[in-house]
Amino acid sequence: MRGTRSPIALAGFDPVAYHLDNGLAPGLPEHELTHDGAVWRFASAANRDAFLDAPALYEPRFAGFDASAVAAGHAVDADPRRYAVIDNELFFFRTEESRRRFLAEAPLREQARANWPAVARQVAR
């Protein structure tokens, strides 16, 4: 979720906006909050408040790592401009190819979920 060089989550993009019609939207410093050690920015106060009400709904799956890589058992940084919302869950990808593959191959979702605990332990080291 957070870049390795910055405490700002999702490179400053609004996590709530991904779930709305407008999709990708930059967050603004005046609508930011700190949650779980990261600074989250939002395009509006309403989006910030929605996140506060249900952060688990808006946080990306697999801590924002490339979902296809997690399915393969690896933690790979993702690009917050490459995303998909599937069944109200937010996933990120490093490349457009990994995004296309994850969308086309539904079993990858379950494989990523199964692999995530082990991948998360690798990241935490």
Predicted pLDDT at 5: 54
CB 34 within 8 A of CB 103: no
Q: Rg of the chain's alpha carbons, rounded to an integer?
A: 14
Cα separation, 44 vs 87, whole angstroms: 24
Burial bucket for residue 100 (CB in 10 Å: 0-12, 13-18, 19+): middle
* pLDDT tens digits along 16-43: 999 998 789 999 999 999 999 899 999 9
Cα separation, 80 vs 99, whole angstroms: 12
Q: Is residue 84's pLDDT more than 80?
A: yes
What pTM was computed for the model? Answer: 0.91
Cα separation, 104 vs 91, whole angstroms: 14
CB 69 within 8 A of CB 91: no
Q: Which residue has the tokens 């909050």?
A: 33
Predicted pLDDT at 120: 95
Predicted pLDDT at 107: 96
* pLDDT tens digits along 85-99: 999 999 999 999 999
Cα separation, 89 vs 29, whole angstroms: 25
